[in-house]
Amino acid sequence: MENVTRSGFNRTGAQTSLHTVQNMQAFADEQSPSGPAHIDGVLEGRSIASVRAEFVHEAERIGSVPIPTTLTGVLATGLSKLTGHRPEVLVDKLGERLAFERTGVRLYQALIDKAEAVQADVALPFTIGELKHIRDEELEHMHIVTSALEGLGADPTAQTPCADVAGVASSGAMQVLSDPRTTIAQCLETILSVELTDGAGWDLLIRLSGSAGQDELIKPFREALAREQEHAQQVKGWLERAVVDDLD
């Protein structure tokens, strides 16, 4: 991996071949389902919005939130103590946090692996130890959420709908981190967006726990939020250093 930005023979821009752009546009018009007269968002006489609306109305939801299957199980667990009529909302968001923190561990491990592979040749804006420290905190956060779910009588190994969506959303980040061609700065940019989302997620979970009457969850969740805010600040600083170093 080369950790610098370089000029090269990039031919993706239209200006590299102006005389063929018109041909390309003509071909796209010709292949459009409704022809050149209807290229402004119309598909076989229908707008793309109406096609999407039809699918949205027909689609089922992404999975469901599992709850203890027996009444005894429900009564014996914290689920029966939840205030409000929709305890599954908290379980769903806890499942999401669990999935997110697990991905966080994997993202940092991928960055550690990359950093260790290039450290002999590249000036890193962080130490490997700093990365390992954050990775371990992400793992601790995962265990905090696992304990919270178990305390409610929910199964932490179940994939909730929001956990499923979080997994899909972060799959792009995992691709960037595990791509051997990406630079340290590109990886940090990706992790920064993950960390910012992470902080917002904990913030929401704290509010939700309060609304559900689960006050004992708020303290450990606030501590996790504080760590996530530190992570975002650290990564932002490292990213700035990595990009500025690239200028030299």
Residues that bind Fe ion (CB under 5 A): 195, 198, 228, 231
The residue (of 96 and 195) whose beta carbon lies closer to Fe ion is: 195
The residue (of 88 and 198) whose beta carbon lies closer to Fe ion is: 198
**Least distance CB 131 / Fe ion (angstroms):** 11
| Helices 87-118 & 184-211 angle (0-180, nearest 10) | 160
C-alpha dihedral, 42 to 43 to 48 to 52, nearest 10°:
160
Q: CA 202 → CA 55, 93, 97, 196, distances in Å? A: 32, 10, 8, 10
**Least distance CB 149 / Fe ion (angstroms):** 19
Measured between alpha carbons, how far is 137 from 156 in angstroms, rounded to an integer? 19
Measured between alpha carbons, how far is 28 from 6 in angstroms, rounded to an integer? 32
**Least distance CB 104 / Fe ion (angstroms):** 5
The residue (of 88 and 228) whose beta carbon lies closer to Fe ion is: 228
Residue type, 58: E
The residue (of 92 and 198) whose beta carbon lies closer to Fe ion is: 198
The residue (of 93 and 227) whose beta carbon lies closer to Fe ion is: 227
**Least distance CB 181 / Fe ion (angstroms):** 25
The residue (of 92 and 101) whose beta carbon lies closer to Fe ion is: 101
**Least distance CB 133 / Fe ion (angstroms):** 11
Closest-CB residue for Fe ion?
231
**Least distance CB 98 / Fe ion (angstroms):** 14
Show Cβ contacts of residue 195 under 8 Å, excluding neighbours closer than 6 positions. 228, 231, 232, 235
**Least distance CB 21 / Fe ion (angstroms):** 44
The residue (of 93 and 231) whose beta carbon lies closer to Fe ion is: 231
**Is-contact 56 50, C-beta < 8 A?**
no
Instruction: Give, in degrees to the nearest 5, the angle at Cα 202 between 174 and 85.
Output: 115
